[in-house]
Chains A and B, each alone.
Chain A
Amino acid sequence: MDSMRNAERHWQYDDLVRRLYGLEPESGASEEHLVECRECFGRWEALQLVRAEYLSEAETSPVSESRLVSQRRALWARIDHPGRFWISKWAPVAATSMMLAAGLVLLHPNRPAPAPAPISQASQSIRQPDAAAQLSDSELFSDLSAMAMPAAPKAAEPIRGLFEDSGNERSY
């Protein structure tokens, strides 16, 4: 029954287009019907004509000769000097990143000095007494200053004190 119904069914436009592109019909229309039905076959032939016309037009689409010539010239330049191509391609990227880096440095010229080493670390670096005798004055001075220097800057002490107080309160 189904095959009989399909044989009677006319080809829809979408199915004809699908056939034109090499796909099977979705509605299940039959090939026999397309051959036998004058109306469907006429539509199919008209569609094929339009397609052929369209393809011949697409094939002769205008492209300017100057574009093709400059394309060939660029290609041969690239083949002859491959390094130059990469330089020209990456030079703007490199220049931009350098500019950005320079901008960042200029925007933040006064970076805070690195925090001094904590006392524990400083004391570890102090040499043994017998080795200390062999130290020069300048080395000894730097060792002593490292010991005397607090871990946190002086300005931060009141804030630190606040935290210590609040810790005590919590323990009560």
Chain B
Amino acid sequence: MEGQATEALGAPALLARFPSWMAGEQRRVFLLCLRMVGDADEADSAAQDAFFKAYQSLEKQSCDIDDPARWVTRIAVNTCLDRLRSKRWQFWRNRPRSEDEVTILAMAATSEPDAEDRLFALELGKRLAAGLDCLSNRQRAVFTLRHYEDRSLEEIARILGLDVGTVKAHLNRALTKLRRELQDLYELSSRGGRGKRR
């Protein structure tokens, strides 16, 4: 994945190159937050919180950080989980706003100029985003990291501080809930061209 530095870095070294490191990770972290919380403004705040916490943490500690990308992903996921927990009380914000839906849907848009392909991708993205709402916070975090970021189950376990068995259980439930959306995404997509399935 883009911007994922895997080398271990000392906290002072990372702090010294914080602006450039953040610029490299920012887009990925923002997209992760957006997929987790489903609201662009909320994702803005979550991404900002994550980098702010990372900066504060770097100022305090001096030990090495094994994988800065994974480290900031962990901070971002936990920030999103906190926000999702507090969001439960904000019943009026349960559905993403229309402009956020457009942003989320644009993520699924194909680069191909075919209008039918685009429509299909948009529709799938919409259904998948709606399907994410049916998942619990943990299931959502596991699915997002696996589906969009293509992280291994072991890596997800390390990011979320869970054991691999628990991650598998969450993923299993998420796949069961999103069965139809994934079926359309993979089965229909694998049958010839994208635009020819509807």
Contact = CB atoms under 8 A, between A and B. Distances in A.
Interface of A: 13-14, 16-18, 20-23, 43, 46-47, 49-51, 53-55, 57-63, 67-68, 71-72, 74-75, 78-79
Interface string B163-176: 00000100110010
B186 A71 contact: no
Interface in B117-154: 121, 146-148, 150, 152-153
Contacts, number: 84
Contact of A17 (B108, B153, B182): B182
A47 B186 contact: yes
Given A17-B182, A47-B186, A79 B52 contact: yes
Contact of A62 (B106, B175, B186, B190): B106
Given A14-B179, A17-B182, A68-B26, 5 more contacts: A49-B190, A50-B190, A62-B109, A71-B30, A78-B48
B63 interface: no
Contacts of B189: 50, 53-54
Nearest to B164: A22
Contact of B148 (A23, A58, A75, A79): A58
Contacts of A67: 30, 40, 44
Interface of chain A, main secondary structure: helix
Given A17-B186, A22-B146, A22-B152, A75 B107 contact: no
A49 B2 CA distance: 20
A74 B30 contact: no
Interface size class for chain B? 35 or more
Max chain A Cβ within 10 angstroms of own Cβ: one of B26, B146, B179: B26
Given A50-B190, A63-B31, A72-B23, A22 B171 contact: yes
A54 B171 contact: no
Interface of B: 1-2, 22-23, 26-27, 30-31, 40, 44, 47-48, 51-52, 55, 106-111, 121, 146-148, 150, 152-153, 168, 171-172, 175, 179, 182-183, 185-187, 189-190
B120 to A, nearest CB: 12
A60 B182 CA distance: 20
14 contacts: A21-B146, A21-B171, A23-B171, A50-B189, A57-B110, A59-B2, A61-B31, A61-B107, A62-B106, A67-B30, A67-B44, A72-B22, A75-B22, A75-B48
Contacts of B47: 71
A131 B48 CA distance: 71
A68 B146 contact: no
Contacts of B27: 63, 68
